[in-house]
Amino acid sequence: MIIFDLCCKQEHPFEGWFQSQDNYDIQLEKGLISCPHCGSREIRRVPSAVHLAKPVNTPDSNDSLPAISAQTGMLAAYQQLMSAIVNNCEDVGKDFAQEARKIYYMETPLRSIRGEASMEEYETLREEGIEVMRLPILKKEDLN
């Protein structure tokens, strides 16, 4: 698995996960990659600010940590991300769309929230210019 930092014609940054460089090239050529912010299919790679991969230990390495497989590392990173979201975002439940609007229009204090929204509510928020992201329903007890 390889992660590329991408950007659309409107300069919206996002990342894409691909099986390989060839897989990215094929998807780009077929127009299968689109900006999650505006839907543009004019995509380009941009320099990556962070390099998360660690080289596998070599015999002459002084590292005392064992090598971690890419799959294990990605799972750990995903669990860490999901845990951070659960621990640092207020769960507003089914009031997500209303609360997101209140925050966007500065009717309530700025804060990180998570909750539930229908596909229609999600699309309407995006059309209003409110940046939201769809994720699976997250509960602390589900993270392990």
Residue ranges per structural domain of the chain: 2-45, 72-142
In 31-76, beta strands by DSSP E: 43-45
Residue with tokens 């596909």: 119
Measured distance CA(36)–CA(15) in Å, rounded: 10
Measured distance CA(18)–CA(69) in Å, rounded: 17
Burial of 44 (0-12, 13-18, 19+ CB in 10 A): exposed
Measured distance CA(100)–CA(15) in Å, rounded: 23
Measured distance CA(70)–CA(27) in Å, rounded: 22
Q: What is the pLDDT of residues 95-124, one digit of tens each?
A: 999 999 998 999 998 888 988 999 999 999
**Is the pTM above the cut of 0.85?**
no
Contact 8, 38 (CB under 8 A): yes
Measured distance CA(129)–CA(118) in Å, rounded: 17
Residues of the chain with pLDDT under 70: 1, 48-73, 137-144
Task: Report pLDDT for 51.
Answer: 43
